[in-house]
Structure formats: C-alpha cells, structure tokens
Structure 1
Amino acid sequence: MDLELLFCKSKVFVHPSRSAVDNVPGFLIISREAHEAKHDSVLAWIPERSLDSRQLQWLNDADLDIDKVKRRSPGILSSTRSSWSFSMKIGYLYSIEFRPPSTNGWWYGSVVLHSKCSNEDDSLPVLFFHDDICPSTELKRKELNKSFDPFSSSGEIYWGGVDFRDAIASIVDLQRTALEPTIWLINATLDDLRNFSPQRMNDDTGKDYNNDLSVNDVVWNKWESAKWGLMSRIADATSKTGSYMGNLIRQHPLVKFAERNSDNPYVRKLLANPRVQEVQDDFDSARVYLAKWALGVKQQADDYQRTHEQSDIYRSLLKNELGIDGENDVQFTDEELNRALERNYPVTKQKWDSFFDSQGRLMITVQEVKDHIFHGGIQDMELRKEVWMFLFGVYFWDSSTDERLQLDQTLREVYEKGYKESWTNRKPHEDAREEEYWQDQIFRIDKDVKRNDRHMDIFKYNTADGKKPESGADSVDEPGGTIDEGSNNWILKNPHLISLKNILVSYNSYNPNLGYVQGMCDLLSPIYYVVRDEALAFWCFVNFMERMERNFLRDQSGIRDQMYTLSELCILMLPKLSDHLNKCDSSNLFFCFRMLLVWFKREFEFKDVCSIWEVFLTDYYSSQFQLFFMLAILQKNSEPIIQNLNQFDQVLKYFNDMHGTMDWNDLTTRAELLFVRFAKMMSIMSRKKELLEPLNASGGAITSGIELHDIDSDEETHAGKEQLPCDSKYLRLLLSKEVVKQREGPREPDSVK
C-alpha cells in the first residue's frame, strides 16, 4: 500500500490513569493513500512501544522534517495495533476540542476527538501534547523566541496542538464555534454552525441560559443537540458611432414615435439631459428604454400607484402579524436579523471538497451547497474557478469527476471546431448589407474589448504576454510607443483581451439574432478573469446570457419589466421613498438602469462584483434577487434622498457617483431581509384575499366561520373590490426560483442592435 505522510507529531501521550508512570507516549500522524483525495486522509495515533527501532527513527525524523520522509512509505503506517492506538478517516470526525496548556505548566495541552458515531467516542483517547520533550515543538519555540514572539500565526500562545490544528485545517474545513472557542467543527453544515451561535442559544429558549445552567452544561446540551441532529440527517440520507448605427436607431418605431412627439417639452428635456447622455454614450439601449418609458411606462407606474395605494386595512393587518410600524418602511425581527447576519463562514477549498464523495459526486443537496454560497460566499479566486462552473450551469450538480472531464473535452471541441471556426474561416457575405452589419459587430466588439477593465492585471498591458512592458508604459503598441486608447487605432496583442474578443464574436455566431450589444463585454469580463480558459469561459457566458439576454432585447421589454417590477416593489416596501421619487420626477427609476443591465458591474470593486454575482446565481430565494439587491440600495439611501434631493438631475447624479462607496455584504444582508419581509407580506395579502372571497360571494356574510376582528363590514366590502399587490404578476414572479428567460426574435435587416 503506497501511503504518503502528511503530518507527524511525536511525544503525544495517552494518560490511562492519574499516575504519570502509566502515561503512554506515541506519534500522532496523518496519512493518505496516494490515489485518494486529501480530504480522505486518515488520522492515527501509534504508541512508541509498538514500533521497532527503524520505524521509531523514521517517525522521529518525520517529526522534525516531514518533507524528507513524506514520499517514503514503510510498513509503519499500517503496523499492528496495540492498546489505545486508533485509526480513522478525518471526515468521520464531527469536531475536535483543543484545550491549551496552562501558562504555569500545571497541565499539558490536549485534544479531544468527537466522532460522528457516538459509540466511537469512548474508544478515542484524550491526547496530551508533552511539549517539553517534543523535538519539533521545542525547535519551533526556539525560533519564535529568537524573534521575541511566542505567539502562533493565529495570535495565541504556541503549543504542539497548534501544529496539529493547522494540519487538519489544510485538509478539511475547520471552523471554530462562536459558542465555545475551544471547539472546532469539521466540515460543518451551516445548521451546525448556527446551532453553536450564542444568538441561537438565546433564541431557542427565550431566556439567558446563564441564569439556570453552568457554562459547561450549556455547551454539553447544545453539543448533544447539534451532534444528534447531524446523526439523524446521516441516517436519513442512504455600438459603432457612425451613420450606419445612427440610421438603425432612428428606424426603431419607438424612437420614431418619440421623435414625432419631440414637441413634448417633458420628453425633449429628458432626452437632452446631460446625465442621461452619459448613460446613452455607454449603452445604446438606454435611448430605446427612455423612449419606451416616455411613451407609456410612466403612465403605467402612475396608474399602479393610484390603484395600489397602501390601504389602512392591510397596513393594519401587516402591523399586527409582522410587527411593522406603519411610520417606517422596513422593520425586522431579531430572528430574521440573526440568520441574515450569519455571513462569517466562506466556502473554503476544504469545505468544497467535503461536499463530494470519492467519485466527485455531490453528497449533500444542491440547496445546502447554495445556502453555503449565498450566506458565506467563496473564499478565493482559485476555488471560485471551480465553483463557477456549477453556478453557471456548465457542470451538472449530479455529475462525477470523470463525467466533468469528458464534458470539458466535448465543450472545447464544439467551441473550437464549431463556433470559433465558423467566423475565423468566414468569407465576405454576398449581401452587402449583411456584410456591413457583420463588420459593424466586429467593430463594436473590438472597441468595447479595448476599453474593458484595463485596471485589472491581466487586461492592463497590451503586450504579447499580457505583462508589463520593460518601457513601463501602461499600453504599448510598438516598442517605445504609448497608445492613445481613445483613438482605437491600435492592434490587440494582449492574449486575454484577444480571448474576450474571440468569445464575443463566437457568441455572435452562436446567437445571431441578438448579436453583440453594449454591456455584454461587462458581463463576460469577470467570467473570463475567474475561469482563465477561453473555451470554458465561452460556455459559462452562453449559459449566463440565457438569463441575461432579456436585458438586451431590441424592444427593451426585458429590462422594462424588471424596472416596472422594481417600481412596484418600491411602492410596496418603501412607500415614503416611492412618493418622494415621484415628486422628484424619478418614478421611472432610470438611475437603476445601468446597475440592473450589467448586474452592478460598474458600481463595485471587481472582487465584490464576483461575490454579488455568486449570491444572485444561487437563486436561493428568487431568480430575480438582483431586484432585492437594488431595493436594498434604495432602502439604504432612502433617508439622504428624501432629506436632500428634490430633482431628477440630483437623484441621477447621486446614484451615478456611487462607485466604490457601497458595502456589498451589508446590502446582501438587507436584500435577504427585504425578501423575507416581502414573502411574508405577499402571503398575508393572499390569505386576506382568500378570507374575503366567501364574504363577497355571500353578500356580506362570513360563511367560513372565521372572524375578521379588525375589519368592519364597510372595509370588507371595499377590500374585496380592491386589487392587492399580491395580484400583480410581476410581484408574484419574484417568489419563483425558476430563471426568467426571454429570447430575441429573428433579426430583420432594419433591426436595431
């Protein structure tokens, strides 16, 4: 059996009795078979007396310098058993308790291992670290003393158990519990972590445990509850700026209609606004959106507000059932706040690996994985590369490692020999208009790629290797020559920018009806940066665009529906802000256009954008959670807006200047709370409607036997005729996790792109 040694610590004792003469020294080791994954490593304790002199020397050498021996595998790791020795897979452990030594030397530091199987705990001895005679611990202490720093990297006094804990943390996900700092959970679920939170302890009983129980009793009771909860689950589970584009835009019927009505002073003033022009310069679609809004969306929003003004009937009902203060837009219970605030456990590489079995198949539910991602995020970019392949739908959640490798190969071939080859070997189109359209698409893609995220390291320098040129110039076309990037008169050399262009042109071939629209490069850039593979990034982008295509439709119906939904949400959840925006002539919510179009790509730092997208892509609560994130931004800024802004220009400038000023984590928490509140409000309104239907059908008599204490007969009759927000198809759709998809229709010669 070919084994690899990962960790070794000598002079780890078992204390069978109170007498020191009975203490048994041994080695605490971690090993794994060469073909197994790291998280399948085995933890073992072997007493010194069961070893021969050669084996003893080998492990003593490993204690001092494991790199010298880790590739060797003598029979020691599978030696015969003796009393107190044990061996078990690390993944079978539920937790480890690390008890540091006393500072005055009265007792040794020790670790207590807790298995997921309760009957195994009795067979696992408490392990004591005799640091005073352990060569590796003594050596490290001397090194620390030379620097006058006796602390480990974690900030605690160094002892042998720290080395063991660091080794475990490099193999599995190890999380310290908030309730008891000495207890660390292995591959814990979010429910396990929540069970050990102090807030959960108090919430479960409605009182402070400290008034009735000792701290040890509290820990033990919660320990047993969390442990057996886990065991029960285990048991149950067996645009080109030229005449061509200008003519196309002017040919759009909405734009034509707007221009015919350009004598309308309101429309003329809006379209000439310099702040609006700034957005139009970045996104051609903004002009079409404004035309659409100017012709009808504002009237729809005004009609909705008049029809759905918050009546005293269900305001009273919401206040009674949810504790909402009618004077405030949003209030939350402590329970809702506690859950939303538990965002301290990012998914680590070790945690991610623990989700899968030896074949690479998921061992927990997809919803559990999404819970981890939604509430904790992904720890680093390297892991994000793997997780995003699932979130973007390239990998199936129920696939194995081998199936994913085969899929990789197939997807690369289809991309290279199918879509990419279709345009790299393309001949000019016989139809001059089609050829002009194609060349315009290439021009637009090339222009957007050249200005894409040039502050990012891999996109910054236009050199053949993407690295900083020796001259020190930011972008160099020819040696010693600095580029005027605004001119676009330079050739792409950066391999990553070239890949961006290849993907966008290939997508043009994949989806010729939509083609390229400004903003799509914004969506591709984070995907490519994370994945760093042209073919796989293409398929992530293809799947992403199935969800995002609705933002780029020629008639703007997809983005219009989202803005209209947001308007209804704001009226329902933030009525005071909604009223004020209406007075500011901002009920069209145009200031939200760019944020929703490219999912807040230009409002946050790059790493924050990645974290925000991960939350959205889980569809944990809703497939349109981006609207609640936008609502959270509105809610967070409602007071400054109401108190200080009173004009459309001011509101637009306020939101356009938000880049780098917002805390995405805070906004995600607020968005979750807003959704929870929204879902409850919709449920209450639906129940109210059900209760009033038999009343209206019987002419006023309640036939169901249910009494509505807070509603008199006049209010009941009025409410029965009133259309509640829960009847809105837009708001109801927010409760669905199914992704909303809209596809562009066939492209006509005069279609606006």
Structure 2
Amino acid sequence: MESELIFCKSKVFIHPSKSAADNVPGFLIICKEAGQSKQDSTLAWVPERVLRSDQLQWFNDAELDLDKVKRKAPTILSSTRASWQFSVKLNSLYSIEFRLPNPNGWWYGSVLLHSRSFYEDDTLPALFFHDDICPSTELRRKELNKSFDPFASSGDVYWGGVDFRNTVRELVDLQRTVVDSTVWLINASLDDLRNFSPQKLTKDQDSSKNNYSDDLNGAVWNTWESAKWGVMSRIADATSKTGSYMGQLIRRHPLVKIAERNSDSPYVKKLLANPRVQEVQDDFDSARVYLAKWALGVKQEAENYQRNHRETEVYRRLLTNELGIDGENDVKFTDEELNRALERNYPLTRQKWDSFFDAQGRLMLTVQEIKDHIFHGGIKDMELRKEVWMFLFGVYFWDSSADERLQLDQTLREVYEMGYKEKWVNREPHEDQKEEEYWHDQIFRIDKDVKRNDRHMDIYEYNTADGKKPDSTTLQSGNLENIDEGSNNWVLKNPHLIALKNILVSYNYYNSDLGYVQGMCDLLSPIYYVVRDEALAFWCFVNFMERMERNFLRDQSGIRDQMYTLSELCQLMLPKLSEHLNKCDSSNLFFCFRMLLVWFKREFEFHDVCSVWECFLTDFYSSQFQLFFMLAILQKNADPIIQNLDQFDQVLKYFNDMHGTMDWDDLMTRAELLFVRFAKLMNITSRKEVLPSLRSDQGTSSSSGIQLHELSSGENTSGDYDEDLPTGSKYLRLLLSKQVVKQKEAPRQADSVK
C-alpha cells in the first residue's frame, strides 16, 4: 500500500555488544499509509546492510530533503527482513526514553521504546544516535550555530533525538513525566498522568514542602495565615472615618510592617501591587464593601502566589482548612480526592483528542474518561474547543463515526435553513393582530439585545459588512450607516451579529411557547464565537436550552428551585455564612440570581467562561454542578462578608461588582472538593437512616451490607451532625444525579406574555 514518509534519520545504530565493531547502522523512519490517521503511523528501523545501493541513496536523499522525496517507502520495508529490524505502530508504544548524549562525547544519545505490552518478546532494541556522522543532524547544528541558538525549543541540548521527538509530538500526544524527565508518555491516560504528577511525589519529598524561593519564608506566611482577618476586623470598626484614617490603621498593623520589611520579596511586591491595596487611602462610598474586597484581594494574592510558585502543599493545607475539614466533627478528604481536585495541569490538546479515536473516527475510550479529561484539564485552544463542544452540546453522538458526523452536519444545516430560518424569513403577517404584535415585540427584544451583545469581542465589535475594523477612509466618508451606539435605531451589518439574530429568531420559531427572554443572547454568544457556523451554532443552542430553559420560565419556578437548593446547600455546607446572611436579610441569596441565570457569563472574562461552561457540560459529578461552583464563590468570600458586611444592599453591591475579580480555576477546585464533601455528608446521612433497620434485623445484616456505600477512611459516623440540617431534602438529593434536569414552558396563551 502506498505510504508517505514522514521522518528519516540515518546513522541510528543498534549496539548488540560492548564492542564497537559489532555496532549496526541503520535508518530510523516514520511513515503513514494512505487513509490512516496520524496515530496509526508506523515507526521502523532498517539496517543499512540489507539495502541495495539505490535504496540506500533513496533514504539518504529523503533524510536531507523529505519534501521532495515522498515515495513508496513501505515497498522497500516489506522486501527486507534482517536481524534487529523492527516496525511498530506509534500508538502501540507506552513511552519513549530520551537519553541525552554526553557533552564530552563519552557516550551517544539514545532512545528506548517501551511497548504497551508487557511480554518480553515485545522488547525493542535501544537506538543510538551517532550524531557526529549523521548528515541531517550536522546540517541542523550548523543552522543553529548561525542563529547562536544551540538549544532546541524544548530547552534541551540539540541532538538527533530532538528531531525524532519533535516529529513524534506532531503525530501522537507525547508528554514528559515529572518522575523522570527523560521519560515521555505516548497517549497517556489521565491515570498515567496523575501517577506521574507532582502531588503523587510529595510524600517522598518532604524536604521540599516548605522550600520558598524568595525572602518571604514560611514563618511570614504562617503569620499571615494565623492573623487572617484580624486586621480587617479592626479596620472595619472605623467605617465612619476617612480613608486616610484607615490607611494609618493599616500601616500600624504588624502584618503590614512585615510586608514593609520584606518589600523586595516577589510575593510582597505582587501583594502590594493589588489596586485595592493601593487605593486604600482613597475615599469611597461604602467602606464595608470596600474593606471586604480588600480582604479578599489579600487572600487571593496569597493563594495565587502559592499556586504559581508550585507551593502545592501550602495551597493544599489552605484548601483543607478553609473548607472546614477538621478531621474530628467532619469527613476527611483522602489524598486521592485532594490530588484529583488539584491536578488541573493536563489540558486536552489536539494530539490527545485525536488519540481518542480509531481509524473510523469512533471513540476508543469511555465517555466518562473523556469527560474526566475535559473536567480536570480543560481544552487547550479555541480551534479544538469548536470540535469538542459539538459533543458536549449533544450535536454529535459520542458513539458516532467521522462519516456519520459529516452526514449529520449536512442534514442539520438543511433542517435549519429550510425548516426554521426560511419559514420566518418568508413569513406572512399573522391574521390575529395580537399575535402579529407579539411577533414584532419578540424581534424588537432580540434586535436590542444583539446590538449590545459582547461588543468588546473582536468579531462583534464593529458594525461593518465584514465585521472588521473600518479603515480611516470609511470613517472620514461617514459610510458607517446609522451607527449610533446611544440608540437602537442603527441597522445591523456585522455578519456575526446578524447570525446571532438569525439564530435567536429561528429559536423563537422553534420554541414558540418560551419566546425570547433577556439573557438568551448571553448564552448564545460564546457558542457562536467558538463554533463560527450559524447552522451548527443553532443546534448547539437548541440542545443547550434543553437544560437552560428552566432558567427562563415565566413563573420562574426553575430558577426558584435552584435558588432554594442553593440556600439549603449553603445551610448544610457553610452554616456560619448562612446564619450571617440571614441576619443581613440575604438568606434568599438573591444576589446569586444573575450568576446562575446565565452561568456566570457576566462575572468572568470570555475565555474563562468557556472553561467554566465545558466543566459544567460534562456533568462529571452532577448535572447541577453550577450550584457547587456558586457555593465555592460563597465559601471563598465567606470571611470578608462575615467580617465586614451586615446589610442587604452591601451584600448585593459586593456581589454585583465581582466581574473580572475571580479565579475560575481555584473556584472549580473548591467546587469539586465541596461536592466530594457534600456527597460524603449525604452518604453518612443515608447510612444513619439504614443502620437502625439493619440492627433490628440481625438475620439479614450480612447481605444488606452490600447495599451500603463504603465510607472513606476518617469519615465520622458518630452522629455529631445537626439533625436540623436539610440532608433529607429532595432538592439536595437531586444534586447527586448526573441526569440533566429539564423543565419546559407551558403552552403560550394569548395572555401569557404581558
């Protein structure tokens, strides 16, 4: 079968013995057969001695100019068989060891190939790169010397193995391990990556736990941690004073003196660079709100520093302490649970995504394994996100083939264009005047929201025919028709804004009972931005609204149920905050309404919103994981709220000003741990409910025990929990389900919409 040669390197030797005279030179090649995926590329080693002179010349030419030499390499391979010669599929390898050459020439650089099979017969010979006599390596070295860059892009000293590694990385997912920097895993599973993670090694590296890399040592950090919000409490007592007076109090506090003495520390510099710290002497309208934000800013900077500087143990302890796991009156996290939540370091790349599919484009992993990758690692780039979101939004079936997805694309486009869009584009006026008025009101609402949608985003910013920034000539000639951002009387020209309107109007036709409700454009905007295809974005939005429709019901029953669930969840998980919010007349959590309504769309930057949504869409732990994310926001802000805020309007203002101030990655980690803790609490409650009946039935205790969930080590079963906690709530029990909660709007009547 005809094949394309992808890589060729000469003078790659096998050393059968310690004697140099026994060394066998050969070519290391990679080729791909027509119609096969990159993952199925073949890696082979061919000894020089089995090649005819013309074949030898062919390989030498291919090494130096691969683009010009693309011939039927497999024909040559299939006609030769010799000792040590081998060929293997790249995706059948588990790992590759890249052993660097000695700088003084005492030994050659080499690679060891490890098969996924554990049988001895699958052992492959070590390959040694004799760079001193390899033409392509010598040529590359000369090029690097000209540019004064003797290092490869990875930071390693350049040698022949670098070219090989770079090619392999283009074909499969290749990731370096932490355990041994010479070992690279091929198409590693998440379990493989977690086994090689830094958290897995911390138990064997106790000496490095508190190894701070700057002047601010562990003692200073512990001082900050132990003092916590004491400084905020003192400052809050001066709310009737001016900002200047508060500044004096801050400067007199011992923690600030510590910061001044360590002013050269990167940590302290970053802390003091916080605008909330810099502005502390300015006057402000609401001192308590400001102080709460300042307190959170100090806390946020400390946590960011710890994470960014790999102080995972400190961050680990911080999370454990703040989430209320004291080991006596509450459940404990296991090391595995903590590691899983903290290990968000393996984003889904194009190579990793491709490795999930076979030659027909069908998934080779379980859906849960893929969702694990997405939930714990996110998606690397926007181009890949476009493809993955088609699965997450349910447009593509997880068990479909590549051909089936192509056919589905065509069908969905036809249905959208002919089944929905064309019908309203060519719509005749309705004979019922009220219905006609309702239709035009819907169009007006959609048009108004589209015009003010995400205008800071590049594709939505300019109202021009191509959506691009107008040149100076266009601006001077005044050809931008009716662009008056202060009114809604201008005409849409931007093709992307027009596409948003088309989709929303088509959805209005698709789901006429619901109609258009403000906030829907917020949900559509990220989908269209990522997908960039009007028809496919429409179907993503249709499927998305299957779960989000309950947020927009006319009687607000869907969002009310979520708010009620969140209130019970807060009461169970954050009792001190719940009690304080009750004193602030904020127990209904009204300030969370907008965040839940449009899934935090207005609280985070666009790319962060995409990351948050794709975690939610996996339903990895719960189909209502957005409530745990909201709970994480409440938990993160609990201390500054309790210390500084005591009025409903203060709490409302505090949460309304959160845009761009939160770290979604930290919150997602907290949300995961909060869910784990919640599940254990609910599990313990269920166990308590079952145990009395088991004790009363001695004859069936053995068999009945199979039905009980196993508790992790350290979980409390002593009955110390408050019996008034809402653990028996149907709303809370529903949080343990991955089944998407759906609520449909009732059929629209003439007087349904006023």
TM-score (norm 2): 0.79
Q: Which residue of 2 aligns with 1:560?
A: 560
State the secondary structure of the residue aligned to 2:404: helix
Q: 1:477, 1:491 within 8 Å by CA — same for their partners in 2?
A: no
Change (3 A) 1:328 1:631: farther
Q: Which residue of 1 aligns with 2:385?
A: 384
Q: Which residue of 2 aligns with 1:87?
A: 87
State the secondary structure of the residue aligned to 1:98: strand
Residues 1:118 and 2:118 are matched in the alignment: yes
Q: Which residue of 1 aligns with 2:304?
A: none
Q: 2:114, 2:123 within 8 Å by CA — same for their partners in 1?
A: no
Inter-partner Cα distance in structure 1 for 2:477 and 2:572? 54
Pick which of 663-672 and 55-64 moved more: 55-64
Residues 1:46 and 2:20 are matched in the alignment: no
Q: 1:463, 1:476 within 8 Å by CA — same for their partners in 2?
A: no
Inter-partner Cα distance in structure 1 for 2:529 and 2:477? 23
State the shift of 1:364 in Å: 1.3
Q: Which residue of 2 aligns with 1:533?
A: 533
Q: Which residue of 2 aligns with 1:433?
A: 434
Q: Which residue of 1 aligns with 2:261?
A: none
Q: Which residue of 1 aligns with 2:503?
A: 503
Q: Which residue of 2 aligns with 1:308?
A: none
Q: Name the aligned partner's letter for residue 527 of structure 1.
A: I
The runs of 5 or more residues in structure 2 that have no matched partner are: 208-284, 287-319, 699-703, 709-715
Q: 2:482, 2:489 within 8 Å by CA — same for their partners in 1?
A: no
Q: Which residue of 2 aligns with 1:752?
A: 753
Change (3 A) 1:426 1:666: same
Q: 1:462, 1:494 within 8 Å by CA — same for their partners in 2?
A: yes
CA offset digits 1:252-310 (Å, max 9, x no partner)? xxxxxxxxxxxxxxxxxxxxxx99xxxxxxxxxxxxxxxxxxxxxxxxxxxxxxxxxxx
Q: Which residue of 1 aligns with 2:307?
A: none
Q: 1:469, 1:476 within 8 Å by CA — same for their partners in 2?
A: no
The runs of 5 or more residues in structure 1 that have no matched partner are: 211-273, 276-318, 699-703
Q: Which residue of 2 aligns with 1:595?
A: 595
State the shift of 1:70 in Å: 3.4
Q: 2:325, 2:331 within 8 Å by CA — same for their partners in 1?
A: yes
State the shift of 1:749 in Å: 1.9
State the shift of 1:568 in Å: 0.8
Instruction: State the aligned residue count.
Output: 628
Inter-partner Cα distance in structure 1 for 2:490 and 2:473? 18
Q: After the TM superposition, which residues 198-347 of structure 1 pair with which residues of structure 2 at under 5 Å, given as runs?
A: 198-200=198-200, 324-325=325-326, 332-347=333-348
Q: Which residue of 2 aligns with 1:455?
A: 456
State the shift of 1:123 in Å: 4.2
Q: 2:12, 2:129 within 8 Å by CA — same for their partners in 1?
A: yes
State the shift of 1:444 in Å: 0.8
Q: 1:45, 1:87 within 8 Å by CA — same for their partners in 2?
A: yes
Q: After the TM superposition, which residues 604-615 of structure 1 pair with which residues of structure 2 at under 5 Å, given as runs?
A: 604-615=604-615
CA offset digits 1:322-376 (Å, max 9, x no partner)? 9933999997444322111111111111111111111111111111111111111
CA offset digits 1:428-471 (Å, max 9, x no partner)? 11111111110011111111111111121211221111122112
Q: Which residue of 1 aligns with 2:713?
A: none
Q: Which residue of 2 aligns with 1:264?
A: none
State the secondary structure of the residue aligned to 1:360: coil
Change (3 A) 1:323 1:650: closer
Q: Which residue of 2 aligns with 1:406?
A: 407
CA offset digits 1:8-53 (Å, max 9, x no partner)? 1121111111111211111111110121111111111111222222
Inter-partner Cα distance in structure 1 for 2:476 and 2:407? 40
State the shift of 1:486 in Å: 2.5
Pick which of 654-663 and 191-200 moved more: 191-200
Inter-partner Cα distance in structure 1 for 2:167 and 2:411? 38
Q: Which residue of 1 aligns with 2:684?
A: 684
Inter-partner Cα distance in structure 2 for 1:545 and 1:401? 26
Change (3 A) 1:476 1:96: farther
State the shift of 1:54 in Å: 2.4
Inter-partner Cα distance in structure 2 for 1:454 and 1:662? 22
State the shift of 1:655 in Å: 1.6
Q: After the TM superposition, which residues 31-110 of structure 1 pair with which residues of structure 2 at under 5 Å, given as runs?
A: 31-70=31-70, 75-110=75-110
Q: Which residue of 1 aligns with 2:135?
A: 135
State the shift of 1:731 in Å: 0.3
State the secondary structure of the residue aligned to 2:442: helix
Inter-partner Cα distance in structure 1 for 2:666 and 2:337? 14
Q: Which residue of 1 aligns with 2:181?
A: 181
CA offset digits 1:668-688 (Å, max 9, x no partner)? 111110100000001011112
Q: Which residue of 2 aligns with 1:444?
A: 445
Q: Name the aligned partner's letter for residue 195 of structure 1.
A: N
State the secondary structure of the residue aligned to 2:44: strand
Pick which of 549-558 and 180-189 moved more: 180-189
Q: 2:360, 2:401 within 8 Å by CA — same for their partners in 1?
A: yes
Inter-partner Cα distance in structure 2 for 1:457 and 1:150? 39
Q: Which residue of 1 aligns with 2:493?
A: 493
Inter-partner Cα distance in structure 1 for 2:671 and 2:502? 36
Q: 2:684, 2:717 within 8 Å by CA — same for their partners in 1?
A: no
Inter-partner Cα distance in structure 2 for 1:614 and 1:476? 43
State the shift of 1:480 in Å: 5.7
Q: 1:389, 1:540 within 8 Å by CA — same for their partners in 2?
A: yes
Q: Which residue of 2 aligns with 1:366?
A: 367
Q: Name the aligned partner's letter for residue 561 of structure 2.
A: D
Q: 2:101, 2:110 within 8 Å by CA — same for their partners in 1?
A: yes
Inter-partner Cα distance in structure 1 for 2:351 and 2:747? 47
State the shift of 1:197 in Å: 3.0
State the shift of 1:693 in Å: 5.6
Q: Name the aligned partner's letter for residue 497 of structure 1.
A: L
Inter-partner Cα distance in structure 2 for 1:455 and 1:394? 28
Change (3 A) 1:343 1:730: same
Inter-partner Cα distance in structure 1 for 2:357 and 2:334? 36
State the shift of 1:611 in Å: 0.9
Q: Which residue of 1 aligns with 2:268?
A: none
Residues 1:351 and 2:352 are matched in the alignment: yes
Q: 2:463, 2:483 within 8 Å by CA — same for their partners in 1?
A: no
Pick which of 728-737 and 71-80 moved more: 71-80
Inter-partner Cα distance in structure 2 for 1:77 and 1:486? 71
Q: After the TM superposition, which residues 619-634 of structure 1 pair with which residues of structure 2 at under 5 Å, given as runs?
A: 619-634=619-634
State the shift of 1:503 in Å: 0.6
Q: Name the aligned partner's letter for residue 99 of structure 1.
A: R
Inter-partner Cα distance in structure 1 for 2:121 and 2:615? 38
State the secondary structure of the residue aligned to 1:459: helix
Q: 2:98, 2:111 within 8 Å by CA — same for their partners in 1?
A: yes
State the shift of 1:492 in Å: 1.0
Q: 2:622, 2:738 within 8 Å by CA — same for their partners in 1?
A: yes
Q: After the TM superposition, which residues 512-591 of structure 1 pair with which residues of structure 2 at under 5 Å, given as runs?
A: 512-591=512-591
Inter-partner Cα distance in structure 1 for 2:414 and 2:111? 52
State the secondary structure of the residue aligned to 2:535: helix
Give me the identity figure in percent.
78
Pick which of 675-684 and 75-84 moved more: 75-84
State the shift of 1:584 in Å: 1.8
Pick which of 576-585 and 50-59 moved more: 50-59
Q: Name the aligned partner's letter for residue 727 of structure 2.
A: C
State the secondary structure of the residue aligned to 1:6: strand
Inter-partner Cα distance in structure 2 for 1:456 and 1:13? 54
Q: Which residue of 2 aligns with 1:237?
A: none
Inter-partner Cα distance in structure 2 for 1:447 and 1:72? 61
Q: 2:95, 2:186 within 8 Å by CA — same for their partners in 1?
A: yes
Q: 1:9, 1:29 within 8 Å by CA — same for their partners in 2?
A: yes
Q: After the TM superposition, which residues 462-473 of structure 1 pair with which residues of structure 2 at under 5 Å, given as runs?
A: 462-471=463-472
State the secondary structure of the residue aligned to 1:747: coil
State the secondary structure of the residue aligned to 1:184: strand
State the secondary structure of the residue aligned to 1:112: strand
State the shift of 1:173 in Å: 0.8
